[in-house]
Copies of this chain bind each other. A is one copy, B any other.
Amino acid sequence: MTLQYALELIGTFVFAISGALAVREKEHDMFGAGFTGFITAIGGGTLRDILLDSYPLVWIGDIHFLYAILTGILAAFIFPNLLSRLRKTFFLFDTLGIGFFTVLGVEKALSLGVRPEIAAIMGMFTAVMGGVIRDTLTNEIPILFRKEIYASACLAGAVIYLVLDHLETDRNYNLLISMSVIISIRLIAMKYKLSLPTLD
């Protein structure tokens, strides 16, 4: 539990950094960069909890998440060049983050009593909707719609979690396996530049 909580805070911190850095080549000022980092970090979980009527929202009920975000934004302000050079490392952290938050999102949805099909969608939303909102606000077509095997990796991992959960797999094994699926799909797709077909 304490490990999970620490990982949630670290994941939020990482998402805030990547959100703030995402607008570097845009015309955003520092406030805009911070705002974008904030939205990226809270967006997915917030949308999930609003859809499921689960209040208070995580970052409103527990102030540590706000501090994790502010620390991430501050890091992006102080070390923008260093952090941008670490793009590959960051991509790895980001991938770990989406794997982790997908599975947590599934678990939270299940704990609120929804059906597994809905929980799978909520898991994916948790991981990817922060980025979708970020891209929409910065006037981009959200990246998940076009380039990467990204949200579909989350959905696949969520389904695997649910199947293993249905088979009463031990939770720790299940977390490990379904997160690994998400992370592997994304890393492999990135390495070999795999993408889904378009609708033609």
Contacts and interface: CB of A to CB of B under 8 A. Distances in A.
A56 B53 contact: yes
Interface stretch (A19-27, A97-105, A173-181): A19-27
Contacts of A28: 141, 145-146, 198-199
Contacts of A29: 145-147, 195-198
A189 to B, nearest CB: 11
A134 to B, nearest CB: 11
Interface stretch (A86-94, A114-122, A164-172): A114-122
Q: Report the copy number of this chain in the oligomer.
A: 3
A198 B115 contact: no
Contacts of A30: 196-199
A141 to B, nearest CB: 5
Contacts of A145: 23, 26-29, 31-32, 35-36, 137-138
A140 to B, nearest CB: 7
In which size bucket is the chain A interface?
Answer: 35 or more
Contact of A66 (B52, B118, B136, B140): B118
B136 A76 contact: no
Interface string A130-168: 001000111111101111010110000000000000000
A30 B197 CA distance: 6
Contact of A199 (B66, B77, B198): B77
Contacts of A60: 51-52, 114, 118
A112 to B, nearest CB: 10
Interface in A6-42: 20-21, 23-24, 26-33, 35-36
11 contacts: A28-B199, A29-B195, A29-B196, A31-B151, A32-B146, A50-B51, A51-B60, A56-B114, A60-B114, A80-B199, A136-B136
